[in-house]
Homo-oligomer: A and B are copies of this chain.
């Protein structure tokens, strides 16, 4: 990867994130590492790690120290930007999404949302799948007719309170 890798900070989504996000993305580009490689170094999953880079999850200081080490950036810089005084202000990018990758996920909600809701109710009763206590995974499934993306949400079922 070029030493000069520049990450555009004037436009979405980085323009909407803390400056430390750009520093992390540039260091990652300079190192030529994938999220999966960094995630393995710090003992986390790549989707969670990517979310944290995008300011959508909160690093603990232990995480930040490891990330700084892997990416060769100063620990203090990482902590000053994403430390204990900072909390994610979650939600990123326009809705409806304009990028086709993200739009397809949105389309999944638009087309299949009611079907998923109906099946959740039939299997679990009145409640929801938590998006807070939820783990997300992206796996590549080889297929002779074309590889497939397997995207999994594993979230706790929460029953509606009655009082």
Question: Which residues of A are interface residues toward B (Cβ below 8 A)?
Answer: 1-2, 4-8, 10-13, 15-20, 25, 28-29, 32, 34-36, 44-48, 50-51, 53-54, 56-58, 76-77, 79-81, 83-124, 126-136, 138, 140-141, 143, 145-163
Asked if residues A114 and B163 are in contact (CB atoms below 8 Å), the reply is no
Asked if residues A110 and B95 are in contact (CB atoms below 8 Å), the reply is yes
Smallest beta-carbon distance A49→chain B, Å: 8
Asked if residues B102 and A113 are in contact (CB atoms below 8 Å), the reply is yes
User: Which of chain B's residues have a CB closer than 8 A to the CB of A6?
Assistant: 18-20, 80-81
| Contacts A/B (CB < 8 Å), 25 sampled | A1-B83, A4-B76, A5-B80, A8-B18, A34-B122, A50-B116, A57-B162, A87-B121, A91-B98, A91-B100, A91-B110, A91-B111, A92-B113, A93-B113, A100-B107, A103-B103, A103-B107, A106-B106, A115-B136, A116-B151, A123-B140, A132-B158, A133-B161, A140-B157, A152-B153
